[in-house]
Amino acid sequence: AQSVTQLGSHVSVSEGALVLLRCNYSSSVPPYLFWYVQYPNQGLQLLLKYTTGATLVKGINGFEAEFKKSETSFHLTKPSAHMSDAAEYFCAVLNMGGSTLGRLYFGRGTQLTVWP
C-alpha cells in the first residue's frame, strides 16, 4: 500500500532563505511522486512530478525535488524563498497498479510561512 509522510506541519523561513520541505513515501512498486501547492481557498496546483528517469526534477516557481530510492524520500527545495511561496504544500504518491490504479495518496501537508 502507498502512504506519504510529510515531516513538519509548519515550516517558517526568511525571504531569501533556503526552503526544504520533507516527504517520505511508502510504496510497494516504483513510485510516481508529486508535489502540489495550495493557496488559500484554491485547488491544488502541480509543482513538479517524478515518474522515471532523472531523479532530480525541476518544477515551476524555482522549486525542485530529488527522488532518493534508498531513503524513500522526495524532498522539495527552493534555493531562495519569496513571499509569494507562502502556501500549503502536499506531497503525493500515485498508485500505478491494482484495484486502486490512478489513486493519489497525499501527505497531511506542510504550511510554509515566509517572513520578510
Partner 1 sequence: GAGVSQSPRYKVAKRGQDVALRCDPISGHVSLFWYQQALGQGPEFLTYFQNEAQLDKSGLPSDRFFAERPEGSVSTLKIQRTQQEDSAVYLCASSLTTGTYGYTFGSGTRLTVV
The Cβ of residue 63 has, within 10 Å, a number of other Cβ atoms equal to 20
- In whole angstroms, what is the distance from residue 107 CA to residue 87 CA? 15
Question: By C-beta, is 80 or 100 nearer to partner 1?
Answer: 100
Question: By C-beta, is 17 or 104 nearer to partner 1?
Answer: 104
Kindly write out the interface string for residues 75-114 of this chain, putting x where it contacts partner 1 by CB under 8 A and - elsewhere.
---------------x-x-x-x--xxxxxxxxxxx-----
Cell match 528517469: residue?
53
Q: Which of 25, 34, 67, 74 binds partner 1 (CB under 8 A)?
A: 34
Query: 54: exposed, middle or buried (C-beta count within 10 Å: 0-12, 13-18, 19+)?
Result: exposed
Q: Which of 14, 45, 61, 80 binds partner 1 (CB under 8 A)?
A: 45
Cell match 534508498: residue?
70
Q: Which residues of 81-98 are buried (b: 16+ CB within 10 A; e: fewer)?
A: beeebbbbbbbbbbbbee
Kindly write out the interface string for residues 57-76 of this chain, putting x where it contacts partner 1 by CB under 8 A and - elsewhere.
--------------------
Which listed range, 19-27, 34-42, 62-70, 78-86, lies at the site for partner 1 (CB under 8 A)? Answer: 34-42
Position 25 contacts partner 1 (CB under 8 A): no
